[in-house]
Chains A and B, each alone.
Chain A
Amino acid sequence: MFKNQLKIAWRSIKKQPFLNALNTLGLAIGIAGTLLISLYIDDELGYDKMFADADRIHRINSDMKFGGPDRQLSQVSAPMAAAMLNDISQVEGVLRFRPWGTTSLNKIDSKELVLEDNAAYADTTLVSMLGLNMRYGNPDKALEQPNSLILTKTAAEKHFDPSKAIGQKLILNEGETYTVTGVIEDLPQNSFLADYSVFMSMVGYQDALGNEWGSHNYNTFIKLKPNTSPEDIAMPLQGMVEDYLIPYAQQFFPGITLEQFEASGNYMRYSTIPLLDIHLWSNRETDMSRNSDINNIYILSFIALFLILLASINFMNLSTAYSLKRAKEVGIRKTLGSNKKSLIRQFLTESSLITFGSLAFGVITAFIVLPFFNELANKSISFPFTQPIFWGLLLIAGLLLAIISGGYPAFFMSRFMPARVLKGSGDANVGGSTLRSSLVVFQFAISVFLIVGTLVVGQQLRFIQNKDLGYSKDQVLLIHNMNRLGDNVHTLKDEVKQLAQVSNASMSGYLPTPSFRTDSSYFLEGKMNQESAVNMQGWPVDFDYMNTLGLKLITGRGFDPNITTDSTAMIVNEAAVAVMGFTPEEVLGKRISRGVDENNLNFFTVIGVVKDFHFESMRHVVRPLSLQIANSDANLIVKLKPGTFRNTIAQINALWNSYSPGIAFDYRFMDDSFNEVYQNEQRLGQIFIIFTALSIFIACLGLFGLAAFNAQKRIKEIGVRKVLGASVGQITYRLSFDFLKLVALSILIALPLGWFAMDRWLQDFTYRIHIGLGTFIIASVLAIAIALLTVSYQSIKAAIVSPVKSLRTE
């Protein structure tokens, strides 16, 4: 029986190649897209799960206001970890990281520096607490000694055979010598440590040992005892402020109490975030990894759902529409004694065949596309072929899809009355057209919604790219590792400045793109109390800095090498002026001190106010900042004249080599560095575009099929109208217009929803666009144009048919 059903199902599928090709294509694309997004989401949700007892590990966050704006850090002060382990009984273990950025390593007998992008000082508990996979070395003792370090396997291979790495000496940043005491497996791509390859022992690191509660530089993780929730430690955690931070502050502000501290509008709040939540929920200034956003997961989930829904709707719509052709078959079967149930079974067999065929196509497509998708999404997702659960889920998904997509058409068709459908005139109205129309409206509403989303994301990205940043990032070359040159840095800078194609050059490790940052408290002369503290960036720069980066002065003057007192001069930004409560003119000449230590006051005199420039992502407001003349030689910033850069870069490279043989010349353009900050948004934008295009394509497949069906159904009407004098144009218009009405309705539904959703997305950005009327007009025109193109082919085809053919009665 089943075999017979299968055979008949296969035959009837073959009989309608157009319909079934459309159905299969739509479903396969929908399945491939949904599958890719699901793998992506699975990967995102799986971050950091590989670590031992990951569900018991939490990170300490600090939210604070201490003069200046509110800050959300993922770091706390160095002594916090020990204090928690001592004072809070539920804490089983602690682990601190002090990220150290790009770090160079070289063997003692080699001058060749190997750069690692990310290194960090780490506590001895690193391997045991996270359960890292130690290849060589003692997991518990690896970081016990000062000047010891752990390398990942890849990092170790750059210097020696990993199996012989233990005990080898490496020079860190051309300074101290470290001993390799451990080699671990490379860290998984979907972990917060993915970018790290070197871990130095914190045992010998002075900064980590002190009682400095005022600076916050340590990413601190705790492991809770089993059956403890983070709420249990919330109280004692916040108690740290009163127990440690205030006593510490009293050294500088004798007698200050927690109440006074808070009364002045300042605060310090500690909180925890589960390790497993960090990747999607933590968006803090000093995260160790570039995190994603849970909103992206929501958005992608919706897109995946839309895709499969669109394809499923296509299936329903096309199957019911084309059921007209099957009506006679149903009639005959019924007169021959078939009951409704066996008809339903027959139709469901057919839809299952198509669904599983599409599923196979979809999975193969996804497999082929996966490498490109990985590149796009910056992932290394592999196809889970070996996991039974994957196949199980696929099977369930296929069955669900078959029932959802095929169920309605099966019930619909099995209801045909033999007496009516066998009359033979062929134009028996099969009905269901209202449902079909609503589904088309739904499909296009989704498409329009996604178009609006794509446009808004694109506009916001362009807005960020083109916004007046307050500095010029174009034609700016950043040369790294200048500090390696020792005393030669200034000579090199002067020589680079002499090059014909170079318009200016400056030296500083502090840049508007990701680089060093130093936050400190500053005090106005005469207001040396804690309430008036101004938390402000202090950037050491040279005399060429402002000109090289094109920073604009609002008032006052820039640094002048001919004025000797400028070594203690300061230029502040507008945000700093606002926090101090002055107008830009008033602040000129004011004296500001870093710190309040009576014995060691060093005052800066404000000589100018620089226009605010964006030195952080546009998700954040511009914070107070000051520029000071001081030596900082991590980067040479070179502003080039317009024209070709290649020769100039080669010239600079030659100069570099003459001073520092053996050290690689490492440079990049500032706008690349800038773009990296918005990489997540860029990727989201691209993913958005691709999947929007896919869903529109699927919706169009459906529309195309329906238009074909509609034209066929109305073939007589078209004939009559033509005989009565209608032109091809009028017929085409008439056939297309019916669909356009539906598309117009879906636009009306989708635009407000699109506005609402994207407005919420934009709230994440401090600097953002307003969604204008233009966006809606473009989205509408685009949807109508796409629908029109899809439909008009079928309409024109129907309109040029000779009426003699369509009106033949015999």
Chain B
Amino acid sequence: MLLELKNIFKWVHSGGQRIFLLKDINLSIEEGEFISVMGPSGSGKSTLLNIIGMLDQFDEGEYHFLDESVHALKEKHRTNLYKEYIGFVFQAYHLLDDLTVQENLEMPLLYKKYKGPERRAMVADMLDRFQIVGKKDLFPAQLSGGQQQLVGVARALISKPKLLLADEPTGNLNSKQGEEIMTLFKQLNTAGVTIIQVTHSEKNAEYGSRIINLLDGRML
């Protein structure tokens, strides 16, 4: 088992009332799964993804990732944990505008203290694998949306995470570009990467092996 959520609650206070963002989420995910999280706007999809990604905290419940109890970990350990095992892909790509494709790919490695030659080898490997060698010196603004997301996925994968979290990865793309990214996800999954994606699209959800439906913070 890769991760397990037990009785997870998350709420915020608004006007003296507790508003639940997530209610009693129980979820266990095995290595190699490809999960699609679906639901209408405001149902808590992104919140769930952020909690799994350890970017956000929950108010009640337990979260086990590999053999660690995430809820009991200190901030620093949590950071180290997601740095090592989790990669993120965003709807708006969030590439850094001032950096070239190559530099964008290299950035996570810098924060993980890889040595120079090693970094170069890993970046070259990624560029090669995603067939974007020719674009390595371009800036994000010079790429199409699909290409930018390709770089975003490559950046998420470069430090070989066990889990890939994608928040509406095709939300800003046209259908053809979206299809390409989904095909890529499928290939990655086949190669052993666990993937959790948030999506609005039934079609994209079909790529996954399991679909989780959320409504008002509850799993259906």
Contacts and interface: CB of A to CB of B under 8 A. Distances in A.
Contact of A720 (B41, B53, B94, B112): B94
A726 interface: yes
A804 interface: yes
A65 interface: no
Nearest to B92: A809
B90 A725 contact: no
A791 B46 CA distance: 33
Nearest to B95: A720
Contacts of A726: 111
B43 interface: no
A803 B111 contact: no
Nearest to A720: B94
A393 interface: no
B90 A809 contact: yes
B112 A725 contact: yes
Nearest to A806: B94
Interface in B36-52: 41, 46, 50
A462 B120 CA distance: 57
B83 interface: yes
A724 interface: yes
Contact of B56 (A719, A720, A727, A802): A802
A717 interface: yes
A497 interface: no
A721 B95 CA distance: 10
B50 A724 contact: no
A721 B83 CA distance: 11
Contacts of B155: 724
Interface string B40-71: 01000010001001011000000000000000
Nearest to B167: A809
Interface string A688-730: 0000000000000000000000000000110111011111001
Interface string B154-193: 0100000000000100000000000000000000000000
A720 B112 CA distance: 15
Contacts of B79: 725, 727
Chain B contact-residue range equals 20 to 34
A725 B94 contact: no
B91 interface: yes
A724 B79 CA distance: 10
B34 interface: no
Interface string B93-122: 011100000000001100110000000000
A807 interface: yes
Contacts of A809: 90-92, 167
Contacts of B107: 721, 724
Given A725-B83, A802-B56, A719 B41 contact: no
A807 B56 contact: no
Contact of B41 (A721, A725, A804, A810): A810
A733 to B, nearest CB: 12
Specify which of A719, A721, A802, A807 lies most central, judged by the most chain B CB atoms within 10 Å of its CB: A807
B28 to A, nearest CB: 23
B9 interface: no
Contacts of A724: 88, 107-108, 111, 155
Contacts of A808: 46
Interface in A76-132: none
Given A716-B94, A807-B90, A727 B111 contact: yes
A717 B96 contact: yes
B107 to A, nearest CB: 6
Given A723-B55, A725-B83, A807 B94 contact: yes
B152 to A, nearest CB: 10
Specify which of A720, A726, A802 lies most central, judged by the most chain B CB atoms within 10 Å of its CB: A720
B91 A723 contact: no
Nearest to A803: B55
Given A717-B96, A804-B50, A804-B56, A723 B88 contact: yes
A727 B108 CA distance: 11
A808 B167 CA distance: 10
A807 B94 CA distance: 8
A135 B3 CA distance: 102
B135 to A, nearest CB: 19
Contact of B96 (A720, A725, A730, A810): A720
A727 B76 CA distance: 9
B76 to A, nearest CB: 9
B106 to A, nearest CB: 11
A803 B53 CA distance: 11
A810 to B, nearest CB: 7
A548 B130 CA distance: 92
A735 to B, nearest CB: 14
A734 to B, nearest CB: 11
A802 B55 contact: yes
Contacts of A727: 79, 111
Nearest to A726: B111
Contacts of A804: 50, 55-56
B167 to A, nearest CB: 8
Contacts of B55: 723, 802-804
A719 B90 CA distance: 12
Interface in A594-629: none
A726 to B, nearest CB: 5
Nearest to B156: A724
A604 B170 CA distance: 108
Interface in A725-774: 725-727, 730
B111 A730 contact: yes
Nearest to B112: A725
B81 to A, nearest CB: 11
Contact of A725 (B53, B56, B91, B108): B108
A810 B44 CA distance: 13
Specify which of B46, B92, B94, B155 lies most central, judged by the most chain A CB atoms within 10 Å of its CB: B94
B50 to A, nearest CB: 5
B119 to A, nearest CB: 13
Interface in B138-152: none
Interface in A404-458: none
Interface string A563-575: 0000000000000
Contacts of B108: 724-725
Interface string A162-173: 000000000000
Interface in A619-661: none
A726 B111 CA distance: 5
A730 B110 CA distance: 11
B200 to A, nearest CB: 12
A711 to B, nearest CB: 16
A802 B79 CA distance: 12
Contacts of A810: 41
Specify which of A716, A724, A730 lies most central, judged by the most chain B CB atoms within 10 Å of its CB: A724
A225 B167 CA distance: 94
A720 B108 CA distance: 10
A711 B90 CA distance: 21
A235 B164 CA distance: 98
B111 A725 contact: yes
Interface in A771-804: 802-804
A720 B91 CA distance: 12
Nearest to A427: B97
Contacts of A721: 96, 107, 111
24 contacts: A717-B96, A719-B94, A720-B95, A721-B96, A721-B111, A723-B55, A723-B94, A724-B88, A724-B108, A724-B111, A725-B83, A725-B108, A726-B111, A727-B79, A727-B111, A730-B111, A802-B56, A803-B55, A804-B50, A804-B55, A808-B46, A809-B92, A809-B167, A810-B41
Given A716-B94, A727-B111, 9 more contacts: A723-B55, A724-B107, A724-B111, A725-B79, A725-B83, A725-B108, A725-B112, A802-B56, A804-B56
Across the A-B interface, give the 9 residue pairs with the lowest CB-CB distance, nearest first. A725-B111, A725-B83, A724-B108, A720-B94, A804-B56, A804-B55, A726-B111, A804-B50, A723-B88
Interface of B: 41, 46, 50, 53, 55-56, 79, 83, 88, 90-92, 94-96, 107-108, 111-112, 155, 167
